Structure formats: structure tokens, C-alpha cells
């Protein structure tokens, strides 16, 4: 698959805002850079409508950008030059197969970072894993909604989950979750390609959703129906500026706020079904 890379020149704070806003468009990979942000979009999804949306975002805050065409065969080189490990205290670390092992951690996840993974989401991934440390996963049925590379599903398995369904609408994410489960010798992650419609009739003890505000707000009611009373929903991919909006919607859809983690401009929320 060929891609366009939008190279944004802006401040680090604006780069985080751009990730959230562009995440509601068909951009599926983000790289934070020294000068701002690189955002990747499949060539067939880079329509005139999308480019006009980018110009509308430019009215909200200052940035400049240029668009570069990237052939598929260049993709691995892009990742290997940019991907950096994620380490959550002494609890968990994520590294690519070309990195050295991470010392002194309880859980290590090795991934082959393909187009499904975006380093712009390191902070939200970090917070999700940090909050998972204090949740009981033993013998639980878990749903990873918007699984990306399957990182959270794999960690849930390492924490003792009985079975994990990992769903993503993007085919590369589905394929990458399969591959990364194999790399980490994980047998109980069921990777699913499709929309929430495929799993809406199943029940889970825990749901993990590191996506974005738009998808989470649209999915609250369905996710509530997929949980038992006191079931846990852990969500991220949400900006601090959207905290009240998301909490109000969560309450209206039958959830109680248990805990909020904040890191720079991002938040992670642990909810339970009332």
C-alpha cells in the first residue's frame, strides 16, 4: 500500500492536538518529530475532502506542512529509523525485534512495528498499560477495541486473562496483531478484522479502548451492553480538553468514573458499569 506523508511543522503541544484531530480523518500512523509531526494516510484515502479538512484545522492554530509520496517498500525503513521503545516504570516495556531486551521489567512485549502502529500515541499507550497494572485480569474475558498492533491484548494475556478478542477496522492492524501474538508466544488472543458490529453481542469482563474521542463517544452505549454490572471499561486517546465531555457522556450511558490518569495533554479513564 502506498502512502502520503504530511510533514507538519509546529510546536510539540500543537502536534498533540493535530494527532487528535487528524485521528478522526483516515490518517492511520503518526510520528512526532523534532519539528512537529509526520502523519501518514493511504493514497486512496487522501481525497480532496480530506485535504480541505486539513486546511480547516489550520484555522484553529498555526502550522505549515508539505505532502510527500511514500512507496510501500520504504515503510520498514521509516519505522526502523523512528520507532523507540516504551517503558512503563518497572512494570512493562514494548520494544521492536531489532532493539535490545529491556532490563528490570516484569513484562516485555516484542512487536514488529508495521503501519498499524503510531508513535504519536505513546502517551496514551503508556497510560493504558500503567492503569492495567492495578486491574485484575486473571481468568477474565477481555475485549481490545481498536487493537492496533495488539499491544494491550498481549499484555492482558500476560496478566492472566482467559481469552482476548482484539478488533480493528484496519486490515494491517488485524494482520499485525496476529504476527505480534505469534512473536510473543501468545495463544489466547483472537484477532478480528471488522467493526464493532462483529462483537456487539458478546459479553466481556473488561474492555480496553485506546482509540479517539469520536469513536469512544459513538460506541459508549454498545460497549455498556457488552459488560456485566461492575464490568470495567478503560479508555484513552482523549485530550484533556475533552475530559468533561467524555465523562458526561460516560455517565449518561451508565458508567461511573473510577480513576483518571493524565500525561501531558492526554487522559486515560477507568470506568465501571453502574
Q: What is the CATH number of the domain that holds 139?
A: 3.40.50.150
Distance CA 253, CA 32 (A): 34
199: in domain: yes
> Can you give the length of the chain in residues?
274
Is the separation of the CB atoms in 148 and 119 below 8 Å?
Answer: no
**Is residue 143 in a domain?**
yes
Residue 151 falls inside a structural domain: yes
DSSP class of residue 100 equals P
Read off φ and ψ for residue 70, nearest 5 degrees. -125, 125
pLDDT in tens, 42-74: 899 999 999 999 999 998 888 999 999 987 655
| Residue 60 sits in the same domain as residue 164 | no
Residue 45 to residue 192: CA distance in whole angstroms: 22
Within a domain: residue 113?
Answer: no
pTM of the model: 0.80
Q: How many domains does the chain have?
A: 2
CATH number at residue 7: 3.30.70.120
Is residue 65 domain-resident? yes
What radius of gyration do the chain's Cα atoms show? 18
pLDDT grade for 82, boundaries at 50, 70 and 90? low
Q: Name every residue whose Cβ is closer than 8 Å to that of residue 16 and which is 6 or more positions away in sequence.
A: 120, 239, 264, 265, 266
Residues 14 and 150 both lie in one domain: no
**Same-domain status, 269 and 199:** yes
Backbone angles phi, psi at 244, to 5 degrees: -65, -40
Same-domain pairing of 46 and 136: no
Phi, psi of 62 (to 5 degrees): -85, 130
Domain boundary among 22, 53, 79: 79
Residues 250 and 137 in one domain: yes
Residues 150 and 57 in one domain: no
| pLDDT tens by residue, 5-46 | 999 999 988 888 888 888 888 887 777 788 998 888 989 999
**Domain range for residue 32?**
3-79
Amino acid at each position: 500500500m502506498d502512502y502520503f506523508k504530511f510533514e507538519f511543522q509546529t510546536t510539540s503541544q500543537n502536534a498533540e492536538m493535530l494527532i487528535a484531530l487528524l485521528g478522526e480523518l483516515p490518517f492511520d500512523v503518526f510520528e512526532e518529530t523534532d519539528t512537529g509531526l509526520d502523519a501518514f494516510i493511504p493514497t486512496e484515502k487522501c481525497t480532496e475532502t480530506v485535504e480541505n479538512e486539513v486546511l480547516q484545522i489550520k484555522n484553529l492554530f498555526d502550522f505549515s506542512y508539505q505532502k510527500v509520496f511514500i512507496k510501500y517498500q520504504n515503510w520498514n525503513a521509516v519505522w526502523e529509523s523512528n520507532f523507540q521503545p516504551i517503558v512503563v516504570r518497572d512494570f512493562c516495556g514494548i520494544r521492536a525485534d531489532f532493539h535490545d531486551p529491556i532490563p528490570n521489567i516484569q513484562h516485555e512485549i516484542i512487536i514488529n512495528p508495521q503501519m498499524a502502529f503510531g508513535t504519536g500515541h505513546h502517551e496514551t499507550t503508556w497510560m493504558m498499560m500503567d492503569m492495567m497494572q492495578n486491574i485484575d485480569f486473571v481468568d477474565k474475558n477481555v475485549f481490545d477495541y481498536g487493537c492496533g498492533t495488539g499491544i494491550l491484548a498481549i499484555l492482558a494475556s500476560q496478566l492472566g486473562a482467559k481469552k482476548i478478542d482484539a478488533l480493528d477496522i484496519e486490515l494491517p492492524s488485524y494482520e499485525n496483531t496476529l504476527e505480534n501474538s505469534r512473536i510473543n508466544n501468545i495463544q489466547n488472543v483472537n484477532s478480528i478484522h471488522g467493526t464493532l458490529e462483529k462483537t456487539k453481542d458478546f459479553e466481556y469482563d473488561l474492555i480496553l479502548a485506546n482509540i479517539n474521542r469520536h469513536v469512544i463517544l459513538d460506541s459508549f452505549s454498545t460497549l455498556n451492553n457488552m459488560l456485566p454490572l461492575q464490568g470495567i471499561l478503560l479508555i484513552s486517546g482523549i485530550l484533556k480538553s475533552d475530559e468533561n465531555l467524555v465523562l458526561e457522556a460516560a455517565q449518561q450511558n451508565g458508567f461511573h468514573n473510577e480513576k483518571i490518569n493524565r500525561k501531558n495533554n492526554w487522559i486515560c479513564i477507568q470506568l465501571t458499569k453502574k
